[in-house]
């Protein structure tokens, strides 16, 4: 960075001093930049406390009048249009206890944001404080030890790219802009989970700032209870600042899409279920029921991380069903990862169910619903088998350990007028499938309730509630799939 001239330095110092004395009209961000405080926010906030916070953090304190406030408050799910009082974009771990203390002293709602992809809009709050970790996104890879250490604002693509430079990877989700922290803390399903388990199964340790400002490590050796809880229990226990992952050799893979003509859903889903039942750990095959003018079409996102010849053999029965599109080919793992299903911000409501089986009844219910749904509705099907299902139910708090199918039921809208129909369709299909479901995946839930959260953790909920009491007894971190302190 170019050095500031003496004149620039004096100007900066003078305006900094003016800012420190003039809040609420003007305040100093931690990086030396200024923001104008909107009068209504200034009225609500304790000006001296904001000044103190801004002078203490190395990151940015972004108020509603700041130039980048609008872009900073937006989250992936555009259904949420919330206006926080302050966004603290942290630059280092030391900023986090300050932001936590500020929010608690001012009694303001608190949201924690990594990649901003929460389906339920949990990473932004109305009138409160957002701890934004996007400025802390460094990733370091120790190729010899096959370990990656990433700051918690890193995205899936940051960690994938850094690891792939050494021909390594760990299980991460299929959307490159999802945050690694949100993904991993809730479990983390991805194309490698049959072979290497969920993202949380590859976590070696995490650095955490507890709500009282303490910095703690969670690993098998330090705070093992906390380590158990954060592998599935989401952002309930503290603000994670860094995560350390186990990596595996992953080179080119055989991957792509098979898309079939409309009107064949029951037949294709039966073939899909048969395929999944015999699939080796190296396979991932995400199904998609997608509307079209001709009726519902079935798409399979195929992935195989073993020898390509064997993958092509496996594909024979699916190719025999004559897909209209078949772009499955050998490609770098990174390319397969970045061909995500839905990667532009969009307003949506999504919910989630875990079915132990895709029975004929479930298939018929989904086929009928998708044939008669509004145009922007979809169902994605993520089969669970292999390594992710061989971890014991109580080994981590993530409780989706039985083989089965995780269903993401989604309704999207571009105009508000389309919202009601999309949301109603999602809820109605969920209600029909709920009696045959067993559990939900917290990371894919666009709504919440105590019943849903308990259903996500089953027998693990009671232990999670005990650990929550130990690390967050006042439930400061409650804008999440919330575990209530016992
Ligand atoms: C397009 C899309 C594709 C997706 N694909 C997948 C997929 O393939 N596999 C999968 O498993 N999931 C997937 N998800 C779900 C995703 O895992 C969750 O939405 C996840 O919570 C997003 O994490 P984030 O950091 O991007 O989101 P954020 O909205 O920033 O965070 C979500 C929540 O996680 C917690 N959190 C985040 N960072 C921290 C931290 N540093 N410390 C403490 N708590 C924290 C907070 O409670 C926060 O509210 C997808 C979501 C979307 C929108």
Distance 287 CA to ligand 1 centre (A): 21
- What size, in residues, is the chain? 486
So what's the pLDDT on residue 174? 86
Flag whether 146 is in a domain: no
Flag whether 2 is in a domain: no
Same domain, 418 and 279: yes
CATH number for position 51: 3.30.43.10
The DSSP letter of residue 41 is H
HSE value, Cβ hemisphere, 13 Å, CA-based, for 163 = 30
Q: Which of 123, 151, 201, 347 to mutate to test the pocket of ligand 1 (most atoms within 8 A of CB)?
A: 123
Flag whether 295 is in a domain: yes
Residue 332, both tokens:
């770098």
Q: Whose CA is nearest to atom 46 of ligand 1?
A: 235
Is 433 in contact with 407 (CB distance < 8 Å)? yes
Residues spanned by the domain of 86: 31-132
φ and ψ of 414, to 5 deg: -100, -30
Mind listing the pLDDT tens digit for each residue in 405-431? 999 999 999 999 999 999 999 999 999
The separation between CA 45 and the C-alpha centre of its own chain, rounded to angstroms, equals 30
Flag whether 140 is in a domain: no
Distance between CA atoms of residues 307 and 299, nearest Å: 23
- Of 90, 115, 132, the residue at which a domain comes to its end is 132
Q: Is the Cβ atom of 113 under 6 angstroms away from ligand 1? A: yes
Q: Which of 156, 173, 344, 441 to mutate to test the pocket of ligand 1 (most atoms within 8 A of CB)?
A: 173
Same domain, 438 and 297: yes
Could you list the mean pLDDT of each consecutive 10-residue stretch along the chain, which spans 486 residues?
A: 33 31 32 42 75 95 93 96 97 98 96 97 96 98 98 97 98 95 98 98 98 98 98 98 98 97 95 98 97 93 98 98 98 90 83 96 94 93 98 98 98 95 97 96 97 97 98 98 98
So what's the pLDDT on residue 85? 96
Flag whether 4 is in a domain: no
Q: Domain total for the chain?
A: 2
Mind listing the pLDDT tens digit for each residue in 66-116? 999 999 999 999 999 999 999 999 999 999 999 999 999 999 999 999 999
Asked if residue 95 has a cis previous peptide bond (ω within 30° of 0), the answer is no
Strands (E), 369-441: 377-384, 404-413
Residue 136, both tokens:
């802390």
First to last CA, the chain: 50
Q: Is the Cβ atom of 64 under 6 angstroms away from ligand 1? A: no
- Of 132, 153, 185, the residue at which a domain comes to its end is 132
Distance between CA atoms of residues 145 and 247, nearest Å: 9
Flag whether 112 is in a domain: yes
So what's the pLDDT on residue 45? 84
So what's the pLDDT on residue 339? 82
So what's the pLDDT on residue 285? 98
Is 443 in contact with 187 (CB distance < 8 Å)? yes
Flag whether 104 is in a domain: yes
Flag whether 171 is in a domain: no
- Of 132, 159, 187, the residue at which a domain comes to its end is 132
Distance between CA atoms of residues 485 and 472, nearest Å: 7
So what's the pLDDT on residue 40? 55
So what's the pLDDT on residue 440? 97
CATH number for position 352: 3.40.462.20
């Amino acid at each position: 960075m170019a050095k500031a001239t003496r004149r620039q330095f004096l100007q900066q110092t003078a305006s900094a001093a003016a800012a420190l004395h003039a809040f609420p009209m003007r305040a100093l961000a931690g990086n030396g930049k200024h923001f104008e405080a909107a009068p209504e926010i200034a009225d609500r906030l304790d000006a001296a406390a904001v000044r103190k916070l801004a002078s203490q953090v190395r990151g940015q304190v972004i108020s509603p009048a700041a130039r980048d406030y609008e872009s900073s408050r937006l989250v992936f799910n555009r259904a949420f249009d919330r206006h926080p009082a302050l966004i603290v974009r942290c630059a280092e771990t030391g900023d986090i206890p300050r932001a936590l203390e500020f929010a608690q002293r001012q009694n303001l709602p608190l949201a924690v944001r990594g990649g901003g992809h929460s389906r339920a809009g949990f990473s932004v709050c109305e009138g409160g404080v957002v701890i934004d970790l996007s400025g802390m996104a460094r990733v370091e890879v120790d190729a010899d030890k096959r370990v990656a250490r990433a700051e918690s604002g890193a995205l899936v693509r940051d960690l994938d790219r850094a690891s792939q430079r050494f021909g390594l990877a760990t299980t991460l989700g299929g959307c490159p802009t999802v945050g690694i922290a949100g993904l991993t803390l809730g479990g983390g399903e991805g194309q490698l989970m049959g072979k290497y388990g969920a993202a949380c199964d590859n976590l070696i340790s995490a650095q955490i700032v507890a709500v009282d400002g303490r910095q703690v490590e969670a690993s098998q050796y330090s705070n093992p209870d906390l380590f158990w809880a954060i592998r599935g229990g989401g952002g309930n226990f503290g603000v994670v600042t860094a995560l350390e992952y186990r990596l595996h050799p992953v080179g080119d893979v055989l991957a792509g899409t098979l898309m079939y003509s409309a009107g064949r859903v029951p037949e294709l889903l039966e073939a899909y279920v048969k395929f999944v039942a015999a699939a080796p750990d190296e396979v991932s095959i995400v199904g998609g029921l997608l509307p079209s003018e001709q009726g519902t079409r079935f798409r399979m996102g195929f992935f195989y991380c073993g020898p390509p010849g064997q993958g092509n053999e496996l594909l024979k029965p699916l190719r025999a069903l004559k897909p209209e599109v078949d772009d499955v080919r050998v490609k770098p793992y990174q390319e397969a990862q970045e061909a995500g299903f839905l990667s532009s911000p969009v307003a949506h409501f999504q919910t989630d169910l875990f079915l132990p089986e895709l029975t004929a009844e479930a298939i018929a219910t989904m086929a009928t619903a998708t044939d008669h749904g509004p145009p922007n509705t979809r169902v994605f099907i993520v089969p669970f088998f292999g390594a992710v299902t061989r971890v014991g139910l109580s080994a981590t708090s993530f409780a989706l350990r039985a083989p089965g199918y995780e269903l993401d039921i989604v309704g999207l809208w571009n105009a508000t007028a389309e919202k009601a129909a999309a949301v109603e369709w999602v809820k109605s299909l969920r209600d029909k499938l709920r009696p045959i479901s067993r559990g939900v995946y917290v990371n894919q839930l666009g709504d919440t309730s105590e019943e849903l959260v308990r259903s996500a953790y089953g027998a693990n909920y009671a232990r999670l509630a005990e650990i929550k009491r130990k690390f967050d007894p006042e439930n400061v971190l409650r804008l999440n799939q919330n575990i209530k302190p016992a």
